[in-house]
Amino acid sequence: MPKMRRKADLPRKTCAACGREMVWRKAWEKVWDEVKYCSEACRQGKMPSGKGGARPPSR
């Protein structure tokens, strides 16, 4: 059995907003259990692009 696993051992999660997989980061080591979104935009409920907009452009 080859023992060549390093970065692949990092925990992963799925973003609650966009559904993308995000890999553990050093910056999250203390808040990993609380991390739900891959980015600030997702945390604020702003979808980067495409569907998801709950409101029409105007009015």
Query: Which chain residues interact with Zn ion by CB under 5 A?
Result: 15, 17-18, 38, 42
Task: State the minimum distance, in angstroms, from the CB of residue 9 to Zn ion.
Answer: 23
User: What Å distances lie between residue 45 and 3, 32, 41, 42, 54, CA to CA?
Assistant: 41, 19, 6, 5, 10
Q: Judged by CB, which is closer to Zn ion: 9, or 40?
A: 40
Task: State the minimum distance, in angstroms, from the CB of residue 35 to Zn ion.
Answer: 11
Task: State the minimum distance, in angstroms, from the CB of residue 22 to Zn ion.
Answer: 7
Closest CA to 12 of 3, 4, 21: 21
